A = this chain, B = another copy of it.
């Protein structure tokens, strides 16, 4: 791993395309799996398979980070894992605040998949005074008027909006005013943020509508279901053993 050819400066080596950034977490996840199997080297082809993308894309994506592979051999799993972690900021602690502790907010607070990657729920905030003081997963719900102090004192960098749609913009404004620069919006509403603030949105209803669009073009929901010609029997034969596996594994 000799130093990168070209500018070996502490800043960004190259500009990483947005599409690549969105795939880095997939590679990260695949690499964690591989590392757990005590495998020390992985090819772009194998990594592509595990991440559900194509091999050329993997190579090009990884080349944006630097020349971390060895021709004829592949990528060192641990080293690549470290590089991607560093690039994504997964070596740090990222305190997160959840605004709106309804169904979704509670589910997010209880979700165990975050902490492992360094995303730690550091605050639960709600405007409903009846909810304030209640605990969810060991964390007390706090009033939204305390947001500025909470954000400042706990160094909160990411805010999640899990409120009804009609207050999403107000909540976003409050988060921005408090100093939050990254927002993940779960409310089904268009939310604008000023320059310098990142916003991503997750909208379940939209995903369903996209699915229903394509399902319509397949013959609609009422049409008689004919087996897909390819692979139907394979899947069906795997059904029994699938059930066995599920009973052990699926904890919800």
Binding site for B on A (CB under 8 A): 1, 3, 5, 8, 10, 12, 21-22, 24-26, 28-30, 50-52, 87-90, 92-96, 100-108, 110-111, 113-114, 117-119, 126-129, 131, 144-145, 152, 155, 157-158, 162-164, 166-167, 170-171, 173-174, 176-177, 179, 181-184, 188-192, 194-198, 200, 202-222, 225, 227-228, 230-232, 235-236, 238-239, 242-243, 245-247, 249-252
B145 near A100: Cβ-Cβ < 8 Å:
no
B94 near A208: Cβ-Cβ < 8 Å:
yes
Q: Which residue of chain B has the shortest Cβ distance to A3 in the bound complex?
A: B214
What is the bound-complex CA distance between A127 and B2, given in angstroms? 42
Contacting residues, chain B, for A207 (C-beta < 8 A): 184, 200, 202
**How far does the Cβ of A111 sit from chain B's closest Cβ, in whole Å?**
6
Interchain CB contact (< 8 A) of A173 among B222, B242, B251? B242
Q: Which residue of chain B has the shortest Cβ distance to A159 in the bound complex?
A: B211
What secondary structure prevails in chain A residues at the interface with B?
mixed
A194 near B231: Cβ-Cβ < 8 Å:
yes
What is the bound-complex CA distance between A198 and B3, given in angstroms? 31
**How far does the Cβ of A123 sit from chain B's closest Cβ, in whole Å?**
15
A25 near B221: Cβ-Cβ < 8 Å:
no
Contacting residues, chain B, for A51 (C-beta < 8 A): 190
25 CB contacts below 8 A, A to B, read A1-B214, A3-B214, A50-B190, A87-B213, A92-B220, A93-B221, A94-B208, A94-B212, A94-B215, A101-B252, A107-B107, A127-B243, A127-B247, A144-B246, A157-B221, A158-B208, A173-B238, A177-B232, A177-B238, A179-B225, A179-B227, A195-B228, A198-B211, A198-B214, A200-B207
Q: Which residue of chain B has the shortest Cβ distance to A250 in the bound complex?
A: B127
B126 near A252: Cβ-Cβ < 8 Å:
yes
Contacting residues, chain B, for A131 (C-beta < 8 A): 252
Interchain CB contact (< 8 A) of A252 among B24, B128, B205, B238? B128
**How far does the Cβ of A114 sit from chain B's closest Cβ, in whole Å?**
6
Contacting residues, chain B, for A195 (C-beta < 8 A): 228, 230
**How far does the Cβ of A168 sit from chain B's closest Cβ, in whole Å?**
10
A204 near B246: Cβ-Cβ < 8 Å:
no
**How far does the Cβ of A118 sit from chain B's closest Cβ, in whole Å?**
8
